[in-house]
A and B are shown apart, each in its own frame.
Chain A
Amino acid sequence: MDFDFSEAQKILRRSAREFLSSACTAALVREVEEEKQGYAGELWRRMAELGWMGLAVPEEFGGSGGSFFDVCLLVEELGRALAPVPFVAVTLCEYALLEGGSEAQRERFLPRLTSGELKMTVAVDENELMVDPWSLQTRAVRDGNHYVLDGTKNFVPYATVADAFLVAARTGAAGDDSLSLLIVERQAPGVEVSPLSAIASDGLGQVSFSRIRLARDHLLEPEGNGWSRLKNLYQRGAILKCAEMVGGAQWVLDRTVEYAKERVQFDRPIGSFQAIQHRCANMAMSADGARFVTYQAAWLQSENLACEREVAIAKAWASEAYTRICLDSHQAHGAIGFTKDYDLQLYTRRAKAAEVTFGDARHHYEALANLMGL
């Protein structure tokens, strides 16, 4: 039982934290928010230079062949810095291609994803989280050697700046639950993107597809295999979100403790009052708990060991924990924490978004109840 990181992982974490502390300041995060639906282009370019988008990708496609666990450690730092870039979305597309793409598709897309040139995002959810194949409305009907795609996707990360979409659509006959994953370029005629006004100002969008004609080589073969691929994508997505939440939660805890040491009322630091101490202790328990259940799920996934149960546990716990930590932090800060100028609110809004992305506690408790045989 060993919770230590390897030397290489320690270096990755340290260098990522150092880089982001200057390359991704709160000022940058606010700037991107005000721009509405942008992303931090310069930061993305520099991340590509550092090889970050190649971490998940084998060397033969231009990557550095890192493990999924390594990627999670990087995402933790991105979560701490609130980096407004489509890293998680691109990473999920990379894994989808590695696990389900043809040789030709991998050669066509992976190098450009790795270089940061291609920003591909996942377009899966519609009005609710997809919990079963039947809940998908988007259809891709076969027509000879083509598919005709119709439907609307919501809550698509970085939709307005994406160059391509990895779309989940029903390809079966009426009543059939067959799903498939297809790649759609932004420029294809019939693609319309509009931004959502969402709590985290994190660039979510709606994407509608109107009778888009796609050549067969846009489908991740074989047709109908999409549901298991989608579950894999959700599973990795849930773990990556957990890593992001762990990073953000730790920043919030650290900042709260610092504030409690600095802020003086009644001639003493408020951190010397038991009410504040106990609240911070609860926050630390939530944060440490989130960290360990996340590392457990990430490690199992990284080792290709079964982890449905551990992922459900991690996402359920971390989702509740991050939001709770932010709200506790607000209480400990008093009025100053409620201002736009103070950075805490940047985290609180993202905590709520992360909570519900790839399944909230209620969703994962239901999955866990099934796994428990109830």
Chain B
Amino acid sequence: MDLRFTEEEESFRREVIEFIEKEVPPAIRVDYDGLDLSPEQFEFAGRLDRKLAQKGWLCMHWPREYGGHGVSITKQLIFNEEMAFRGVPSRGHMGINIVGPAIMLYGSDEQKRKFLPPITRGELEWCQGFSEPNSGSDLASLRTSAKQDGDGYVINGQKIWSSRAHHASYCWLLARTDPEAPKHKGLSTFAVDMKAPGITVRPIVTVLGSTHFCEIFFDNVRIPAHALVGQRDQGWYQAMGTLSFERSGINRVASVRRALRDLVEYVKTHERNGVPLSRDAIVRHHLAELETEIEVARLLCYRVAWLQMKGQVPSYEASMARVFGHELSQKVARVGMKILQLRCQLMPGDPRAPIGGNLARAFLSTISNTIRSGTSEIQRNIIAQRGLGLPRR
């Protein structure tokens, strides 16, 4: 039992902080969710990715043979934590975290040559083509088809909730290649060029007025045979197995920590009826409770990283860390809004908005945190079934 980081890890953390303070001006930093980037933030994130690539930090967790540095899980966690805590704009890194690893594991030499180097240089934007209007939590029921036709495939169907599809050059697509097989066994993964004829992207407007998520329509889209990644009909199992890298959700917890820090600062500098808010018993209780829950969340994330460091594959532990962190992100927004009372309504852009209107934004944006990338309900099913061994039927 030793809960300290090593001297080398602490030194790395300092290095990351120094880099962020030098390269990321306060004005460009994101809100607590970091999901919706302004055009300026999006451009900045792209330029920053190239700087990170130069430092060897963009794909630090990749194996050396593919251009990474095989950096430890703990160091990845430290990096992710600091980037999130300091609100660094990021494009989401689908290529770095999902597509690249899948191609490393299952791709042909040609695919590795074509896709991996540009990903390591931060040059390729990917979107995910998984969810469909009728296939969300029950993803394996998806119906977008990829029919073999001559020396290629023809794609027909519709994907939804695809992040930044309108900016992507490639789509990481999960489609049905064998409609006769049981639902998990007839799926394949493809790397689809978004310029292929027949692809239409339509942004969806969220409650925040953002267009981060998109629908993608495939209308007789012809793709070459070499767009298939890995084995035909093995796509589901390939999509589930990836290289082991840090995905505890520490970034979410770090964001919550940042929100709490801002709230603490706010209550220390604002009064109601001549009394500092920080002296209000209810405010003190709420903020101390958040501080406590953040610590629980942080340790649950560290536990996931520790298991990975030991060479174990976390299952329910990752679900637990994630659902706890996601619900906490909603709680900090809720509590923050209650503390601000009447003025909580003011949105970012209004000069009178307290804490830059970040809490009003967070109150709305965090609604999706317990839904996307695995709903809380699914996560609890996983904890119960895989963690506690409770029966499915």
Write the residues of chain A forming the contact surface with B, with a CB cutoff of 8 angstroms.
1-6, 9, 69, 257, 260-261, 268-269, 271-272, 274, 276-278, 280-282, 284-285, 288-289, 292-293, 295-296, 299-300, 310, 312-313, 316-317, 361-362, 364-366, 368-369, 372-374
Contacts and interface: CB of A to CB of B under 8 A. Distances in A.
B62 to A, nearest CB: 22
A142 to B, nearest CB: 39
A249 to B, nearest CB: 14
Contact of A281 (B279, B309, B383): B383
B184 to A, nearest CB: 21
Interface string B256-290: 00000000100110000000001100011101110
A293 B5 CA distance: 17
Interface stretch (B47-55, B230-238, B385-393): B385-393
A284 B324 CA distance: 11
B390 A2 contact: no
A317 B284 contact: no
B19 interface: no
B3 interface: yes
B99 interface: no
A272 B393 contact: yes
A312 B3 CA distance: 18
A261 B305 contact: no
A365 B284 contact: yes
Contact of B292 (A269, A282, A317, A374): A317
Contacts of A272: 390-393
Contact of A1 (B74, B293, B323, B380): B74
A277 B380 contact: yes
Interface residues of B toward A: which range? 35 or more
B390 A292 contact: no
Interface of B: 1-5, 74, 264, 267-268, 278-279, 283-285, 287-289, 291-293, 295-296, 299-300, 302-303, 305-306, 309-310, 316, 320, 323-324, 377, 379-381, 383-385, 387-393
Contacts of A268: 391, 393
Given A1-B5, A295-B1, A284 B285 contact: no
A1 B389 contact: no
Contacts of A310: 295
A374 B390 contact: no
B193 to A, nearest CB: 41
A361 B286 CA distance: 11
A218 B282 CA distance: 43
Contacts of A271: 384, 390-391
Contact of B1 (A4, A281, A312, A364): A4
Contact of B384 (A2, A277, A313): A277
A313 B292 contact: yes
Nearest to B296: A289
Contact of A299 (B1, B287, B291, B305): B1
B306 A278 contact: no
Contacts of B391: 261, 268-269, 271-272
B285 A317 contact: no
Contacts of B306: 1-3
B388 A372 contact: no
Nearest to B317: A288
A17 B335 CA distance: 42
Contact of A374 (B264, B293, B389): B264
A313 B287 CA distance: 12
Contacts of B389: 257, 261
Given A1-B74, A3-B1, A366-B284, A292 B324 contact: no
B288 A274 contact: no
Given A257-B390, A365-B289, A366-B288, A373 B264 contact: yes
Contacts of A293: 292, 295-296, 299
Given A269-B391, A277-B380, A281-B388, A374 B287 contact: yes
B389 to A, nearest CB: 7
Contacts of B296: 289, 292-293, 313, 317
Closest 6 CB pairs of A and B: A277-B384, A365-B288, A369-B284, A281-B383, A292-B299, A289-B296
Contact of B387 (A276, A281, A312, A366): A281
Contact of B299 (A282, A296, A364): A296
Contact of B300 (A4, A292, A295): A292
A211 B393 CA distance: 69
A361 to B, nearest CB: 8
A362 B74 CA distance: 34
